[in-house]
Amino acid sequence: MPAALKGHKRIHGYLKGLDNSPGVYRMLGENGAVLYVGKARSLKKRVANYSKPTGHSARIERMISQTASMMFLTTSTETDALLLEQNLIKQLKPKYNVLLRDDKSFPNILVSAKHEFPQVRKHRGAKKEAGNYYGPFASAGAVNRTLNQMQKVFLLRSCSDADYEGRTRPCLLYQIKRCAAPCVGHISKQDYATLIADAERFLQGRSTNVQADLANQMNAASSQMEFERAAALRDRIKALTQVQQSQGINPRTVAEADVIALHMDGGQACVQVFFIRANQNWGNRDYYPRTGAGAESAEVLQAFVGQFYDRREPPRSVLLNHPIEDKDLMQDALSQKAGRKVELAVPLRGEKAELVGFATRNARESLARKMSETATQAKLLTGLADAFDLDGAPRRIEVYDNSHIQGAHAVGAMIVSGPEGFIKSQYRKFNIRGEDLTPGDDFGMMKEVLRRRFRRLLKEDPERLGDNWPDLLLIDGGAGQVSVVAQIMAEEGVQDIAMVGVAKGVDRDAGKEEFHRRGERPFALRHNDPVLYFVQRLRDEAHRFAIGTHRAKRSKAIGATPLDDIAGVGAVRKRAILAHFGSAKAASRAGLADLKAVKGISAKVAETVYDYFNDKG
């Protein structure tokens, strides 16, 4: 088969080696880049369809014309092929596939089970800790609002176990009636367990029963002339009523569902997802999937559903506003993943249809706002190209900054912006490691950051086929920083990337910035130029990210002690030793017998600690 052959003729050459097995196929371009990943009930029939010269949409025709080779993987069932397809799409990010770009995990509420007075808190990630989990919530904000409401109603503690153990008097939350203060014995274990049970009933959607129980308790307290207790119960009932009134959409007939609505316009898509759990609305989030160079609604929504639940447990019901291509197959795949039946439905009437309609309206309005912001961003990028004499509007801008205090806890930071605004998933932090750097050497830190950044880029994508190569570098600093960056770029052989230094001009006032480029005189933009404001926002975002990273590193260092380096001494034993001796320095001077006297420290651990401090030579 001629190596240069492409398109439907090239695809036709693969038919002889295929049978009717289900599986996944990959279409590759001349440079080996994956153009498309698809699944098929019969690989031979699907490839035969692609080998025909006519009958394809414009999008598929373009894809076929660019195909230089194909790869195949057979599976046992079409359901397995569907699951594998979505996994490969997320890994390979092919040009012609629909791609869910934001795939962050969702937070939950955890009612811990490892303490006699359980803590109620936000939890994100693997569910390894013992306790009951409630969620998912659409965002950290949705969790925080619910926790805040629960504090008012149920008076549960939110402090860490370490803070709880160290308290000798109630905290401010007790004073403002947000906690029952179990830390100092203001509530019994049995009464606190009752509060926990009520809170879990609330999270399970049984808040009406909770309210009735509280009303009965208030009436009983009033009858027994315990007016102070009755007033406290009245306040909790009032708070619970306010919670129920503020939750917005609370469906009566839908106990558990994700409501997923798609709206498309001008080749762009917005998917709105509402989380309904325990007959309560636990928030919503919008997504803007890449539409694979022009996919239709059914394909976009199917791809979104498959990728959205790739690493998440689906609810019992998923309500959609559009039919998808392989509803029964997707339903089987989600049911297989969940280990129980999952229903996919496009409701046409009743409360479910109202929920879908509400989500659709949100998707339409969100996409309109996004498109308006994107248009504004496009104008700013074009203006930036004109101001800095770039070949065209940059697709990826990387902005660098450093942060330290007299050289201590030094970090470098990189933020990324593009046609759709800040790309926070691409932000990177760099712990400055150079042992030969003079403390506070900003030039040296910038050298280390840029060298590490571009060496990694050259290693991962030497042909520059991906989207991670910048078109423009913005450096916080003047001619000196630009010279340093130019030196690093020359050493690494990437001198074709534009770079600009942003220096605070006269009196270091915002609005008087000077811009520095290699071999050219500094210049400034008009005080009211929108491009100047745009550059200021980019620089300020880089500064914010750098400062935040530096503060986190400094806070971690402040809490560090030599005990952190001793094998077998975890957080609990470290707290016990510090509480007993008052400081790590005092513990380092302690005798073996004193260490053995620490509550919770075994003789073996005491010997390990003693040997660590006394065998250093």
Q: Give tens-digit pLDDT for 435-454.
A: 666 666 778 888 888 888 99
Question: At 1, is the pLDDT very low, low, confident or very high (cuts 50, 70, 90)?
Answer: very low
Q: What count of other Cβ atoms lies within 10 Å of the Cβ of residue 545?
A: 22
- Spatial CA neighbour of 265 closest among 304, 308, 297: 297
Q: What is the CATH number of the domain that holds 590?
A: 1.10.150.20
In this predicted model, what pLDDT tens digit does every residue of 591-612 receive, in sequence order?
888 888 888 888 888 888 888 8
DSSP-derived 3-state class of residue 1: coil
Q: Are residues 49 and 177 in the same domain?
A: no
Q: Give yes or no for residue 617 having a pLDDT over 50.
A: no
Write down the pLDDT at residue 528: 83
Residue at 546 is within a domain:
yes
For residues 146 and 168, membership in a common domain is answered with yes
What is the average pLDDT value for the chain, to the nearest integer?
85
606 in the same domain as 547: no
- Mean pLDDT on 330-353: 93
- Assign residue 49 the CATH number of its domain: 3.40.1440.10
Average pLDDT (610-615) is 78
Global pTM exceeds 0.85: no
pLDDT of residue 273: 94
User: Do 519 and 570 belong together in one domain?
Assistant: no
**What's the per-residue H, E or C state across 32-78?**
CCEEEEEEECCHHHHHHHHCCCCCCCHHHHHHHHHCCEEEEEECCCH
Amino acid 236: pLDDT: 67
Cβ of 221: how many Cβ atoms within 10 Å? 18
Mean pLDDT for the stretch of residues 285-303: 91
Are residues 117 and 63 part of one domain? Answer: no
Confidence tier at 113 by pLDDT (50, 70, 90)? confident
Among 96, 126, 142, the domain boundary falls at: 96
Domain co-membership, 40 together with 119: no
Do 407 and 540 belong to one domain? Answer: yes
The CATH number that applies at residue 526 is 3.30.420.340
Residue 488 lies in a domain: yes
Are 567 and 534 within one domain?
no
Distances (CA, A) of 244 to 134, 234, 236: 18, 16, 12
Looking at the domain assignment, is residue 183 inside a domain?
Answer: yes
The domain in which residue 322 lies consists of 256-368
Q: Is residue 219 part of a domain?
A: no
Residues 185 and 155 in one domain: yes
Q: What percent of the chain has pLDDT over 70?
A: 89
548, part of any domain = yes
Q: Domain check: are 552 and 446 in the same one?
A: yes
Tens-digit pLDDT profile for residues 355-414: 999 999 999 999 998 888 888 899 999 999 999 999 899 999 999 988 765 545 678 889
Question: Count of domains in the chain?
Answer: 5
Read off the pLDDT of residues 487-533 as tens digits, 9 standing for 90 and up: 888 888 888 899 999 987 665 555 678 899 888 888 888 888 899 99
**Looking at the structure, do residues 406 and 534 belong to the same domain, yes or no?**
yes
Note whether 437 and 544 are same-domain residues: yes
Using the 3D structure, point to which of 347, 368, 389 is the last residue of a domain: 368
